[in-house]
Amino acid sequence: MKGIKFVVALTITIALTWALNRGWDFGDPIPPLGKFLDPFHGFWANAEPPVTYDYALRIPGLKDKVSVVYDSLLIPHLFANNDDDLYRVMGYVTAQHRLWQMEFQTHAAAGRISEIIGNKALDFDRNQRRLGMVYGAQNSTLAHSKDSVINRMNQQYTEGVNAYIQSLKYQDYPLEYKLLDYEPELWNDLKMGLLLKNMSKTLNFGENDFEMTNALNLFGKATLDILFPDWEAVGDPIVDNPGGWKFPPIQLDSVPLALPDQLVNITPTQKAVKGVGSNNWAVSGIKTATGSPILSNDPHLSLSMPSIWFAAHMQSPHVNVMGVTFTGAPVIILGFNDSISWGATNAQRDLVDWYKIEFKDATRNEYLSDGNWLPTKKVVEQFIVKGKDPFYDTVVYTHHGPIVYDASFHGDSEKNAYAFRWIAHDESLELKTFYLLNRAKSHRDYMAALDYFSGPAQNFAFASTAGDIAIRIQGKYPVRRKGEGKFVLDGTKTSNEWQAYIPPAHNIMIKNPARGFVSSANQYPVDPTYPYYVHSNNYEAYRNRRINRQLSAMDEITPVDMMKFQNDNYNIQAEESLPYLLKLLDSAALTAEGRKVFELLKSWDFVNSASSVAATYYEVWYNTLYRNIWDEMTNSTASLSLPSDYTTIHLMKTDTLLSFYDVQSTPEKEDLKTLVRQAYAASMDRINTWKIENEKEPQWAWFKNTSVGHLLRIPPFGYHVENGGNGSAINATTGSHGPSWRLVASMEKTGVKAWGVYPGGQSGNQGSRFYNNLLTPWAEGRYFRLKFPHTEKETAPYRYYTTTFNSIQQ
């Protein structure tokens, strides 16, 4: 009897322990409860006490001692005696604070999220592989390995990251690993390539060629040119240098532009998001209070926890640089050193083409090119899917690039095949640009560094303690004939392929312009005398004008002025559209509430401040109107993009007879006036519903409700912030995107002074008070002085704790 009892009890104990030692998935995943709740090793072990002590570590491969001093923001200041040690410890330190994010981002780039979260990520993963993200990263890795300096740096960094990973036991794992029950894998050079491709995808990927092709076929060329002009007649270009382009441009044989005559039937995997953009500017000493240049930069990206950026100060006898980096890159991406500072904004240039492919037959083994049948290359991609069998997908490659969409993936047939040509597929050495910028001492060094940068194309602003300011729009751009690259291209003719690249010396750039400042905000880049065809899908029309308008008028500029300016919420779009919209309303016919709002809008100062109620009414009204005007696009079965806000407002003012004003779903024939009034009434309803649901006044910050969510969308790990802003204001904070890093650097000869802030915190650990400590200051427009000591001793006044790294003695 006792024997049976024993067996039963033993079975229960073993079964219970087993069940609590593994994760389960009943719709929602459940972590392994025993492992996870164990206060000795589980999630409890990730909670950090507020007090920290100095400690020493031994890591393999170090040549000499390295000190890492943390300041009160948990920014590490690395003091190394040689470059190898510097990069090795940088790898270790970054992994200490952001390991899960480093790996997750590269897993995402490589299409490996299904391994972690299962089947629901499979479509995303397949898309990543089909876009050739891994193919591009492999080419980056190849380029890295050919450059001895970059190769050595990457090796040191990788070994540093891996020294950290190998030191970990389960209790040390970042929380996300414990929640999802998986383990970190070793870092490698491919992951650095993937990291860069991820950025290229964020900033430079698009399916606009499909959308433009569809618009061309549905609306005709004449309408298309009105809705999507190559250049909107507005604003200053980034470089306005008429007649200053004194080089003989590369000419291509002229080929008549063949317009595609078929719709592209592809369900887009993702629509371009509004809000990805950026600002930077540098003002010359003649406009500043100190007489030294000031550089400002704020790149706008999707807001997430942990933040995309990690701040660090890296010093060795050969380099002394501070700024922010992507978690997983050994170099500072945006920042300053003792002599120069630099900042980047997206150049928007079209570096993506889609070629229509003609296959010989359904096997897709051969395709046509200039009358010859060329063999395709088929790559079988394996996807490990959590809780399921592996999934296999065959991707067909042509010499243009991979076929992304076909009958098995978001396309309607094998016949409708488009090959994807992307600059990010090519070998390139962006890391070398940053390696050299980190060490640059002059404008000449900055120019030499940028020569290595091929994409995603960026507007690099520059300021130096020597008093120079400059901007250069850097990327590797194919030379294009007018109109080329806007639509899908015929892949059977090699004359449509990228024939030549614009030489770096022909790129758009200027140094020390007479107006005393350089600036960029994703607008059209250059004056009409520039001899190459420049094309993009979305050049910015508002922020750039606000920046240039104010900078032209400013004098005796101080860093504080620049900080205030980065947080400027003035909305030129509202200034240019609201008075006109109000005129179209018949105020006499309004309800009592409608008249109240009318008065509120009439007296609004066009500032999207956090507390503005008028801003909310304007935004909802305009956006409703915008959607109703372009209902032809959103209701179409073909994938289409919508005209820009600038073009929309321009058309409203100049063309009251546009056929698009008619709402297709109603029998009546609407005109602009009717639409404006309907949208006004609808916006009032929408805001009233919001008021009832939220029980407060529709102040802009509350209504906009900017979300800074965790990368895995785990609700308690994300936040909402209350701030002003708008995609068209300098403080370009929307509901999901915003300034991901703000830097103001005063390039004084007696020592560079810099201030910065970003939404998030240095630690990726939810159990650390440095996880979100910068978020509220960021939302409130506050900055922190970035401590830039030259010796370890100088850190004493703000030292939080020190980690000393020593080599393992043989």
The answer to whether 9 contacts another protein (rule: CB under 8 A) is yes
Rounded alpha-carbon distances, angstroms, from residue 431 to 36, 55, 310, 454: 39, 32, 16, 11
Q: Is the dihedral of CA 281, 350, 453, 189 positive or negative?
A: positive
The answer to whether 41 contacts another protein (rule: CB under 8 A) is yes
Q: Can you tell me the distance from the alpha carbon of 190 to that of 140, in angstroms, rounded to the nearest whole number?
A: 8
The answer to whether 441 contacts another protein (rule: CB under 8 A) is no
- Cβ proximity to another protein: between 74 and 109 the closer is 74
- Cβ proximity to another protein: between 210 and 719 the closer is 719
The answer to whether 758 contacts another protein (rule: CB under 8 A) is no
- Cβ proximity to another protein: between 10 and 149 the closer is 10
Stretch 697-726 residues interacting with another protein (CB under 8 A): 714-717
Closest contact distance (angstroms) between CB of 172 and another protein is: 13
Q: Can you tell me the distance from the alpha carbon of 521 to that of 123, in angstroms, rounded to the nearest whole number?
A: 33
Q: Can you tell me the distance from the alpha carbon of 126 to that of 342, in angstroms, rounded to the nearest whole number?
A: 36
The answer to whether 6 contacts another protein (rule: CB under 8 A) is yes
Residue 680: CA atoms inside 13 Å, Cβ hemisphere, count?
A: 24
What is the CA angle 485-488-489, rounded to 5? 80
Q: Can you tell me the distance from the alpha carbon of 57 to that of 725, in angstroms, rounded to the nearest whole number?
A: 45
Closest contact distance (angstroms) between CB of 715 and another protein is: 7
- Cβ proximity to another protein: between 49 and 243 the closer is 49
Which residue's structure tokens are 């629509």?
A: 271
The answer to whether 34 contacts another protein (rule: CB under 8 A) is yes
- Cβ proximity to another protein: between 243 and 716 the closer is 716
The answer to whether 46 contacts another protein (rule: CB under 8 A) is yes
- Cβ proximity to another protein: between 21 and 591 the closer is 21
Closest contact distance (angstroms) between CB of 717 and another protein is: 7
Which residue from 22, 47, 685, 751 is in contact with another protein, where contact means CB under 8 A?
A: 47
Q: Site map for another protein, 138-177, x if CB under 8 A? A: --------------------------------x----x--
The answer to whether 682 contacts another protein (rule: CB under 8 A) is no
Residue 753, token pair as written in the block: 């002074």
**Bridge partner list, 68:** 78, 803
Which residue from 24, 33, 52, 773 is in contact with another protein, where contact means CB under 8 A?
A: 33
- Cβ proximity to another protein: between 181 and 619 the closer is 181
Closest contact distance (angstroms) between CB of 709 and another protein is: 14
Residue 95, token pair as written in the block: 């992994």
The answer to whether 408 contacts another protein (rule: CB under 8 A) is no
Which residue's structure tokens are 């369900």?
A: 267
Q: Can you tell me the distance from the alpha carbon of 130 to that of 116, in angstroms, rounded to the nearest whole number?
A: 20
- Cβ proximity to another protein: between 307 and 639 the closer is 307
- Cβ proximity to another protein: between 5 and 793 the closer is 5
Closest contact distance (angstroms) between CB of 767 and another protein is: 4
- Cβ proximity to another protein: between 171 and 188 the closer is 171
Which residue from 767, 776, 801, 807 is in contact with another protein, where contact means CB under 8 A?
A: 767
- Cβ proximity to another protein: between 39 and 797 the closer is 39
The answer to whether 20 contacts another protein (rule: CB under 8 A) is yes
The answer to whether 246 contacts another protein (rule: CB under 8 A) is no
Q: Can you tell me the distance from the alpha carbon of 288 to that of 805, in angstroms, rounded to the nearest whole number?
A: 42
Q: Can you tell me the distance from the alpha carbon of 544 to that of 277, in angstroms, rounded to the nearest whole number?
A: 11
Closest contact distance (angstroms) between CB of 34 and another protein is: 6
Closest contact distance (angstroms) between CB of 6 and another protein is: 4
The answer to whether 5 contacts another protein (rule: CB under 8 A) is yes
The answer to whether 768 contacts another protein (rule: CB under 8 A) is yes
Q: How far apart are the first and last CA of the chain?
A: 61
Contact segment (CB under 8 A) with another protein among 55-63, 328-336, 449-457, 767-775 equals 767-775
- State the burial class of residue 777 (Cβ atoms within 10 Å of its Cβ: 0-12, 13-18, 19+): middle
- State the burial class of residue 413 (Cβ atoms within 10 Å of its Cβ: 0-12, 13-18, 19+): exposed
Assign 3-class secondary structure to 394-417.
Answer: EEEECCCCEECCECCEEECCCCCE
- Cα-flanking dihedrals φ and ψ of residue 805, to 5°? -105, 130
- Cβ proximity to another protein: between 40 and 247 the closer is 40
Number of residues binding to another protein, judged by CB under 8 A: 39
The answer to whether 27 contacts another protein (rule: CB under 8 A) is no
- Cβ proximity to another protein: between 47 and 257 the closer is 47
Closest contact distance (angstroms) between CB of 771 and another protein is: 8
Q: Can you tell me the distance from the alpha carbon of 86 to that of 67, in angstroms, rounded to the nearest whole number?
A: 10
Which residue's structure tokens are 């390991």?
A: 99
Residue 309: CA atoms inside 13 Å, Cβ hemisphere, count?
A: 29
Q: Can you tell me the distance from the alpha carbon of 269 to that of 127, in angstroms, rounded to the nearest whole number?
A: 8
- Cβ proximity to another protein: between 176 and 353 the closer is 176
Which residue from 39, 243, 256, 528 is in contact with another protein, where contact means CB under 8 A?
A: 39
Closest contact distance (angstroms) between CB of 703 and another protein is: 25
The answer to whether 50 contacts another protein (rule: CB under 8 A) is yes
Closest contact distance (angstroms) between CB of 713 and another protein is: 12
Closest contact distance (angstroms) between CB of 184 and another protein is: 18
Which residue from 22, 25, 37, 655 is in contact with another protein, where contact means CB under 8 A?
A: 37
Residue 430: CA atoms inside 13 Å, Cβ hemisphere, count?
A: 30
Q: Can you tell me the distance from the alpha carbon of 466 to that of 446, in angstroms, rounded to the nearest whole number?
A: 13
Question: Would you give the DSSP letter of residue 100?
Answer: H
Assign 3-class secondary structure to 543-602.
Answer: HHHHHHHHHHHCCCECHHHHHHHHCCCECHHHHHHHHHHHHHCCHHHCCHHHHHHHHHHH
Closest contact distance (angstroms) between CB of 96 and another protein is: 18
The answer to whether 186 contacts another protein (rule: CB under 8 A) is no
Do 323 and 334 touch, CB atoms closer than 8 A? yes
Contact segment (CB under 8 A) with another protein among 6-14, 70-78, 372-380, 498-506 equals 6-14
Report residue 426 CA to chain centroid gap: 20
State the residues that interact with another protein by CB under 8 A: 2, 5-6, 9-10, 12-13, 16-17, 20-21, 33-35, 37-50, 170, 175, 179, 714-717, 766-769
